[in-house]
Protein backbone atom coordinates (compact mmCIF):
# COMPACT_ATOMS: atom_id res chain seq x y z
CA UNK A 1 0.00 0.00 0.00
CA UNK A 2 1.22 3.49 -0.77
CA UNK A 3 1.82 6.07 1.92
CA UNK A 4 -1.53 6.96 3.55
CA UNK A 5 -2.72 10.53 3.13
CA UNK A 6 -4.63 12.15 5.98
CA UNK A 7 -6.86 15.13 5.23
CA UNK A 8 -6.90 17.60 8.12
CA UNK A 9 -9.62 20.20 8.47
CA UNK A 10 -8.91 22.86 11.09
CA UNK A 11 -9.04 26.54 11.89
CA UNK A 12 -7.23 29.33 10.10
CA UNK A 13 -7.10 30.97 13.54
CA UNK A 14 -5.31 29.74 16.67
CA UNK A 15 -8.40 29.80 18.89
CA UNK A 16 -8.48 31.06 22.46
CA UNK A 17 -7.12 27.94 24.19
CA UNK A 18 -3.35 27.39 23.72
CA UNK A 19 -4.10 23.64 23.81
CA UNK A 20 -5.49 23.89 20.25
CA UNK A 21 -2.15 25.02 18.78
CA UNK A 22 -0.39 22.35 20.84
CA UNK A 23 -2.73 19.66 19.51
CA UNK A 24 -2.19 20.84 15.91
CA UNK A 25 1.59 20.82 16.35
CA UNK A 26 1.60 17.39 17.96
CA UNK A 27 -0.68 15.96 15.28
CA UNK A 28 1.41 17.33 12.41
CA UNK A 29 4.55 15.83 13.93
CA UNK A 30 2.75 12.54 14.59
CA UNK A 31 1.66 12.27 10.94
CA UNK A 32 5.25 12.74 9.80
CA UNK A 33 6.48 10.17 12.35
CA UNK A 34 4.11 7.63 10.76
CA UNK A 35 5.37 8.59 7.29
CA UNK A 36 1.82 9.65 6.41
CA UNK A 37 1.16 12.58 4.10
CA UNK A 38 -0.66 15.64 5.40
CA UNK A 39 -3.38 16.93 3.07
CA UNK A 40 -4.74 20.28 4.21
CA UNK A 41 -5.89 23.75 3.17
CA UNK A 42 -2.39 25.13 2.42
CA UNK A 43 -2.62 28.07 4.82
CA UNK A 44 0.24 29.23 7.02
CA UNK A 45 -1.97 30.74 9.72
CA UNK A 46 -3.75 29.39 12.80
CA UNK A 47 -4.02 25.67 13.36
CA UNK A 48 -3.50 25.07 9.63
CA UNK A 49 -0.07 26.63 9.73
CA UNK A 50 0.84 24.87 12.97
CA UNK A 51 -0.02 21.38 11.70
CA UNK A 52 1.86 21.95 8.42
CA UNK A 53 4.99 23.45 10.01
CA UNK A 54 5.15 20.59 12.52
CA UNK A 55 4.80 17.99 9.76
CA UNK A 56 7.50 19.72 7.72
CA UNK A 57 9.84 20.12 10.71
CA UNK A 58 9.54 16.37 11.32
CA UNK A 59 10.37 15.60 7.67
CA UNK A 60 6.79 14.85 6.59
CA UNK A 61 5.22 15.00 3.15
CA UNK A 62 2.75 17.88 2.82
CA UNK A 63 0.04 18.46 0.22
CA UNK A 64 -1.72 21.82 0.41
CA UNK A 65 -4.73 23.01 -1.56
CA UNK A 66 -5.86 26.63 -1.51
CA UNK A 67 -8.30 28.64 -3.64
CA UNK A 68 -7.00 31.76 -5.36
CA UNK A 69 -9.16 34.09 -3.29
CA UNK A 70 -7.62 32.87 0.01
CA UNK A 71 -3.96 33.14 -0.99
CA UNK A 72 -3.49 36.40 0.94
CA UNK A 73 -5.95 35.87 3.80
CA UNK A 74 -4.69 32.38 4.69
CA UNK A 75 -1.09 33.16 3.65
CA UNK A 76 -0.64 30.37 1.09
CA UNK A 77 2.25 28.16 2.27
CA UNK A 78 4.25 27.72 -0.91
CA UNK A 79 7.09 25.62 0.57
CA UNK A 80 4.99 22.45 0.85
CA UNK A 81 5.90 19.19 -0.87
CA UNK A 82 2.95 19.85 -3.18
CA UNK A 83 1.07 23.15 -3.42
CA UNK A 84 -2.12 23.36 -5.49
CA UNK A 85 -4.10 26.53 -6.20
CA UNK A 86 -7.75 26.03 -7.15
CA UNK A 87 -10.36 28.32 -8.67
CA UNK A 88 -12.81 28.07 -5.76
CA UNK A 89 -13.71 26.42 -2.44
CA UNK A 90 -15.65 23.57 -4.05
CA UNK A 91 -12.65 22.56 -6.13
CA UNK A 92 -10.37 22.87 -3.05
CA UNK A 93 -12.56 20.50 -1.03
CA UNK A 94 -12.78 18.03 -3.90
CA UNK A 95 -9.01 17.94 -4.46
CA UNK A 96 -8.36 17.52 -0.73
CA UNK A 97 -10.91 14.72 -0.40
CA UNK A 98 -9.82 12.88 -3.55
CA UNK A 99 -6.19 12.89 -2.37
CA UNK A 100 -6.84 11.49 1.10
CA UNK A 101 -7.52 8.15 2.76
CA UNK A 102 -9.00 9.51 5.99
CA UNK A 103 -10.26 12.78 7.47
CA UNK A 104 -9.34 14.28 10.83
CA UNK A 105 -11.10 17.41 12.06
CA UNK A 106 -9.25 19.56 14.59
CA UNK A 107 -10.86 22.59 16.24
CA UNK A 108 -12.03 25.15 13.73
CA UNK A 109 -14.87 27.40 12.67
CA UNK A 110 -17.54 27.50 9.98
CA UNK A 111 -15.21 26.28 7.24
CA UNK A 112 -14.17 23.23 9.24
CA UNK A 113 -17.80 22.50 10.05
CA UNK A 114 -18.73 22.80 6.38
CA UNK A 115 -15.97 20.38 5.40
CA UNK A 116 -16.89 17.95 8.19
CA UNK A 117 -20.60 17.88 7.34
CA UNK A 118 -19.90 17.45 3.65
CA UNK A 119 -17.75 14.34 4.14
CA UNK A 120 -20.13 13.04 6.82
CA UNK A 121 -23.10 13.44 4.46
CA UNK A 122 -21.22 11.67 1.67
CA UNK A 123 -20.42 8.79 4.05
CA UNK A 124 -24.06 8.63 5.18
CA UNK A 125 -25.10 8.36 1.53
CA UNK A 126 -22.59 5.56 0.94
CA UNK A 127 -20.40 7.63 -1.39
CA UNK A 128 -17.24 6.81 0.57
CA UNK A 129 -16.05 4.73 3.51
CA UNK A 130 -13.07 6.83 4.59
CA UNK A 131 -12.58 7.13 8.35
CA UNK A 132 -13.78 10.45 9.80
CA UNK A 133 -12.28 11.50 13.13
CA UNK A 134 -13.10 14.43 15.38
CA UNK A 135 -10.02 15.31 17.43
CA UNK A 136 -11.90 16.56 20.48
CA UNK A 137 -9.21 18.71 22.09
CA UNK A 138 -10.32 19.82 25.57
CA UNK A 139 -13.92 18.90 24.69
CA UNK A 140 -14.04 21.40 21.81
CA UNK A 141 -16.38 19.21 19.74
CA UNK A 142 -18.70 18.20 22.63
CA UNK A 143 -21.49 20.58 21.48
CA UNK A 144 -21.23 19.21 17.92
CA UNK A 145 -21.41 15.62 19.15
CA UNK A 146 -24.45 16.61 21.23
CA UNK A 147 -26.08 18.16 18.16
CA UNK A 148 -25.50 15.02 16.10
CA UNK A 149 -27.00 12.91 18.90
CA UNK A 150 -29.96 15.34 19.01
CA UNK A 151 -30.49 14.98 15.23
CA UNK A 152 -30.59 11.20 15.70
CA UNK A 153 -32.85 11.41 18.80
CA UNK A 154 -35.29 13.63 16.92
CA UNK A 155 -35.56 11.16 14.04
CA UNK A 156 -33.70 13.11 11.35
CA UNK A 157 -30.95 10.50 11.02
CA UNK A 158 -30.44 6.85 11.85
CA UNK A 159 -28.19 5.88 14.74
CA UNK A 160 -25.76 4.63 12.10
CA UNK A 161 -24.79 8.28 11.47
CA UNK A 162 -22.98 8.40 14.80
CA UNK A 163 -21.04 5.25 13.90
CA UNK A 164 -19.51 7.07 10.93
CA UNK A 165 -17.55 9.33 13.30
CA UNK A 166 -14.72 8.39 15.65
CA UNK A 167 -14.21 10.87 18.47
CA UNK A 168 -10.66 10.90 19.83
CA UNK A 169 -9.21 12.99 22.69
CA UNK A 170 -5.62 13.41 21.51
CA UNK A 171 -3.24 13.23 18.55
CA UNK A 172 -1.92 9.93 19.89
CA UNK A 173 -5.43 8.45 20.01
CA UNK A 174 -6.06 9.75 16.48
CA UNK A 175 -2.93 8.02 15.19
CA UNK A 176 -3.91 4.74 16.89
CA UNK A 177 -7.45 4.92 15.47
CA UNK A 178 -6.14 5.72 11.99
CA UNK A 179 -3.57 2.92 12.16
CA UNK A 180 -6.37 0.43 12.93
CA UNK A 181 -8.72 1.86 10.31
CA UNK A 182 -6.15 2.00 7.51
CA UNK A 183 -4.53 -1.40 8.04
What's the pLDDT score for residue 68? 92
Strand ranges in 100-159 using DSSP code E only, listed in sequence order: 102-105, 132-135
Residue segments in the chain with a per-residue pLDDT below the cut of 70: 1
pLDDT at 48: 97
Indicate the class that CATH gives domain 5-178: alpha beta
pLDDT for the residue 1: 56
* The pLDDT value given to residue 9: 98
Report pLDDT for 71: 79
Domain ranges of the chain: 5-178
One-character DSSP codes across 35-54: TPEEEE--B-SHHHHHHHHH
pTM value is 0.96
Q: How many CB atoms are located within 10 Å of the residue 75 CB?
A: 17
Amino acid sequence: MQQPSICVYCGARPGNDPAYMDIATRFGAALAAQDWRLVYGAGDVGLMGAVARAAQDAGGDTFGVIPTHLMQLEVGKRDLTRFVVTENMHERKKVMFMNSDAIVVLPGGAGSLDEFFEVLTWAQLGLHAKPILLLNANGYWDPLIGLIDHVIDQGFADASLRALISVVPSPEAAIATLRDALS
